[in-house]
Structure 1
Amino acid sequence: MINSQFNLIKIFSVLFFLVSGPFQSQEVSFLFMGDIMGHGPQIRSAYQNPEKKYNYDKVFEPLEDIISSVDFAVANLEVTLAGPPYMGYPQFSSPDELAEACKNNGMDVLVTANNHSCDRKNSGVIRTVEVLDSFKILHTGTFKDEKKRDQENLLILSKKGIKVGLLNYTYGTNGIPFSTPAYVNMLDSSLIKQDVINARKKKLDKLIVFVHWGYEYRDFPNSYQKKFNTFFNEIGVDVVIGSHPHVLQPMIYNIENNKEFLTVFSLGNFVSNQRESRKDGGAMFRLSFEKKGGKVYISRKEYVLTWVHKFMDDGKYQYQILPCAKAKYNERYFSEKNDFQKMNLFLVNSRKHLNNNNKSVEEGVPYGLAKAKDIAHTRSPIPELKMTNYISTKKKKIRRIKKSRK
């Protein structure tokens, strides 16, 4: 009986998170996540003995409900899936099971154009997209050849009568060039302008560009980012999502002459082994489009802060991504008090940074958060739920949670 009541509350909570007003018949939701890194300690953590296999599912489990609550979940895969030998920095190649865990935990799209796309040269570029195809994960940014680029460069995500296009580019590939047949989308204004012209021929309602740019570890966009951001606006892009700095940068929403333009300059790290403050977390960005009277506009734009919890369990380090505002009320789930303090430091500093520098973008309510007074703006509270014990080593059955959303 208790379990039935809990399940009923959980269902109600998800519905409450999705709908904040009257029934909306045409609204499509997105969740954008930052850099999925694969440093050496992460690879060792995922290795399972005696099975001699890798498993990353536990990394994403605390966010499963948030990720599965949207129509399309998109993240930056900043490693290659080039096969063994597996290694982290400086030339990343992670086990295929990393992509499998992304799929298992609700991610629909992985963008692949970043400065590590060519870490294993052409063969790494090609094998990475082949692995994503094998898991039926949508992707854009890098391609097996130019023919595939012509066919798959513009990723169209369509649902509930709303048609959204997604493009992906990177500023560079760490000096490792790609050569035919592989192709990596570079941050080139002529190329991008033509891509946008071609995209608009598809009668899109909105166009999003996910771009790898900027200086690492800088809290604010540089002149190069600002220049390209203005360019994106001028050529008709509606939303820009940024990655690469590995720290959070401001989120800016403007509307001029009835045209909306939204930029998230950097989402920071989604998961990595970077433990210094500011680099040890990031944000998920929730974006919804609604169609009314034949016009599509942004109906929701908000962020949820996340922090990477690295802790010792079963004799080795484990990694899990926590929703900060929810974890804040569950100090008992941290094996070390110092870990809770580190997460709270990230939470406080990130809120201060974004509250002071964002424009018309506020913090959202993460799934299951009971104390709305703690977030950056007022919103009706969600019914309280028990929080999962994040450091439990009990195995969970992997749920293919996205089937019902098709």
Structure 2
Amino acid sequence: MNKITFIGDITCDRPLLNAAYDRNAGSYDFFPVFGKVENLFVDSDYVVGNFETVCAGGKNGFQNQYMLCNSPDELIQAMVRGGINCVTTANNHCLDQGIEGLVRTIDELDKNKVLHTGTFTNEDASKRILYLYLNDVVVALISNTYSTNASNTGVVLNDQNDFHVNLLRKQSEFILAGKREWAKRFLFKLIGARYRRIINRFVARLKLRQGKVFLKPRVDTVVDDDTDNKYLRLLVEDLKVARDNADFVIVCSHIGGQFNEIPGEYSKFIGDFVLEHGADMLIGNHPHVIQKVKRENGKIVAYSLGSFNQSPSADYIIHDALPEYSMAFHVYFSKDQDFVNIDRMTFSIFKAVEDSKKMIVVYPIDKLYDELGEGERIQLEEDVKMVYKRITGQPILKNVIQNEYIF
């Protein structure tokens, strides 16, 4: 049997970073994050996560800039030890530490023998497709992103260097470029990361006192050039190549409205677009919460698997849509002569649990259930019922807590 497991966003928020640091050793230990799920990955040929951070080295500090990522190399090492052997890297954080940080992240993944796609060190069209070999089944993997954090970083790619990131559209226009770029850079330097966090929290508390909601789920809409641009044309070319060289084609797209449990207009467009042009499946990430899985005419769209290990105490979290839960999506393949079958698709539900020191432990819900008291078990069951219905569109009437659910 051939099996690929997809998991959600692998992140490193400030609470987890601080909790993982061992002052005596002067190093980080992230393995507790992955320790409870590694046994579930043992029978998967590939476990594919979205690496939503960068490892740009400690020279400029880790996570010291507001809403910009940089994680210790130990995160990759712990991830590998936990059984994750493949990642997608095209996401809004891939340029958080510039092109240099992007390249170093790729180097660290290579050092740790992690397969990857989505960001690249050089312009080589053949590298835009990653081929996974499962005995006699060849699966093509393409990773892309709606944009990067250009409005925060000031890193705007052009026609000469945009090969570094598999984009779906031009980077956000909300950028102080040209004559005004210096003003933004000056403002970012003037207001340090610590003070931007303080200002952010102050505004949030002020609005809450006024009865206003500070953070709201975001909606992804289709705007000008979203449906026809050079990046989509490149994607169509890649899909044709992948179709010719693989038995099954999967696109992993970083799309969607953050903390919105309902797929938006742009997510639906991308899902339809890639299936129309040759993909068999789309795996989505970025919303930080689980969204539905759709299956029509043998094609599959999993709009969002949620965040694998985001910190519940991070100050950007919206809790209403249960962001502490994520999904592992399992696809079982077989090949009959020249025809590839999906024998079955299943999913597991994970919960990221934060302890008093802010360390994250990701649990399969059946393992977590065994460790809880009666009252906590009841709450877990209620949460799982909501998550299950969001994924499948159907209520679960019995055997609420399972290791693996059949879709």
TM-score range, shorter chain: 0.7 to 0.9
Residue by residue over 1:316-347, the C-alpha shift from the partner in whole angstroms, topping out at 9 and shown as x without a partner, is 33210001133223315xxxx98767645532
Superposition pairs for residues 360-399 of structure 1, below 5 Å?
A: 374-375=401-402
Residue by residue over 1:183-209, the C-alpha shift from the partner in whole angstroms, topping out at 9 and shown as x without a partner, is 10011321110111122232x110010
Partners of 2:401 and 2:145 in 1: how far apart?
36
Residue by residue over 1:346-396, the C-alpha shift from the partner in whole angstroms, topping out at 9 and shown as x without a partner, is 3232123224269xxx99xxxxxxx957449988xxxxxxxxxxxxxxxxx
Percent sequence identity over aligned pairs: 28
Residue by residue over 1:225-250, the C-alpha shift from the partner in whole angstroms, topping out at 9 and shown as x without a partner, is 11121111111100110000111111
Partners of 1:225 and 1:103 in 2: how far apart?
30
Residue 198 of structure 1 corresponds to 241
Residue 398 of structure 1 corresponds to none
Residue 111 of structure 1 corresponds to 88
Residue 136 of structure 2 corresponds to 161
Q: Is the 8 A contact 1:355 1:376 kept in 2?
A: no
Amino acid aligned to 1:130: D
Partners of 2:2 and 2:403 in 1: how far apart?
24
Partners of 2:282 and 2:148 in 1: how far apart?
20
Following superposition, the deviation at residue 174 of structure 1 comes to 2.0
* 2:358 alignment partner, SS class: strand
* 2:370 alignment partner, SS class: coil
TM-score normalised according to structure 2 size: 0.75
Residue by residue over 1:107-161, the C-alpha shift from the partner in whole angstroms, topping out at 9 and shown as x without a partner, is 11011000111111111111110110111100000011213xx242211101221
Amino acid aligned to 1:51: A
Residue 164 of structure 2 corresponds to 183
Are 1:301 and 2:349 counterparts? no
Partners of 1:343 and 1:94 in 2: how far apart?
31
Partners of 2:136 and 2:386 in 1: how far apart?
40
* 1:285 alignment partner, SS class: strand
Are 1:75 and 2:113 counterparts? no
Residue 211 of structure 2 corresponds to none
Match of 2:286 among 234, 244, 248: 244
Gaps of at least 5 residues in structure 2 are 169-230, 314-318
Partners of 1:290 and 1:205 in 2: how far apart?
10
CA RMSD in angstroms comes to 2.5
Are 1:331 and 2:372 counterparts? yes
Residue 185 of structure 2 corresponds to none
Partners of 1:63 and 1:178 in 2: how far apart?
37
Structure with greater proportional strand content: 1
The alignment covers a number of residue pairs equal to 329
* 1:229 alignment partner, SS class: helix
Residue 266 of structure 1 corresponds to 304
Q: Is the 8 A contact 1:68 1:105 kept in 2?
A: no
Superposition pairs for residues 2-401 of structure 1, below 5 Å?
A: 27-84=1-58, 85-87=61-63, 89-147=66-124, 150-175=125-150, 176-178=155-157, 181=161, 183-187=164-168, 188-202=231-245, 204-255=246-297, 260-275=298-313, 276-277=319-320, 278-312=322-356, 316-331=357-372, 343-356=380-393, 374-375=401-402
Partners of 2:405 and 2:18 in 1: how far apart?
42
Judging changes above 3 Å, is the alpha-carbon distance between structure 1 residues 373 and 317 closer, same or farther for their aligned structure 2 residues? closer
Gaps of at least 5 residues in structure 1 are 1-26, 364-370, 380-406
Partners of 1:326 and 1:38 in 2: how far apart?
23
Partners of 2:381 and 2:235 in 1: how far apart?
40
* 2:100 alignment partner, SS class: helix
* 1:41 alignment partner, SS class: helix
Partners of 1:374 and 1:41 in 2: how far apart?
29
Following superposition, the deviation at residue 287 of structure 1 comes to 0.7
